[in-house]
Amino acid sequence: MRQLLSVPAAGLLLVLTSACSVSVGNAQVSTDELETQVSALLAEEVGRAPEQVDCPDPLDAEAGAEVRCTLTDRGATYGITVTATDVVDDEVALDVVVDAEPQADDES
C-alpha cells in the first residue's frame, strides 16, 4: 500500500513507502541510477520530481541491502531509505521510504 503525507513546509507530497525495480548489470545499483530512479518514482507518485536527490553510496544488488539518500525540495531536505527488497536476474526491486520530518539544518 502506498501512503502519502502532505508537508506544507516543503510544498511537496512525500511518498512514505513505495516500490519500483531497476535493471543492473553488476552487483550494485550505481549512485546515478539510484538518484534517477528515486526521483522518477517520486515524480510518478506526487506529480513532480524533487529539485534534487542525492545518494552518496551505491546500493548492493542483494535483498535487504540498504542505503541512505536525501531529497531537497523548496528549501527542505528529507532523508530517504532505499532498500533492495528482491533481486531476480539483473532486476533489483527497490523500496523507497522518505522520512516524515525534514532534517535539521546541521544534518544536511
The ranges assigned to domains in the chain are 3-98
Q: What is the pLDDT of residues 42-89, one digit of tens each?
A: 888 888 899 999 999 999 989 999 999 999 999 999 999 999 998 888
Alpha helices in the chain (DSSP H): 31-46
pLDDT on residue 7 = 33
Residue 51 sits at φ, ψ, to 5 deg, of -60, -35
Q: How far apart are CA 91 and CA 100, in angstroms?
A: 28
**What's the chain's Rg over C-alpha atoms?**
13
Reported confidence tier of residue 27, pLDDT bands at 50, 70, 90: confident
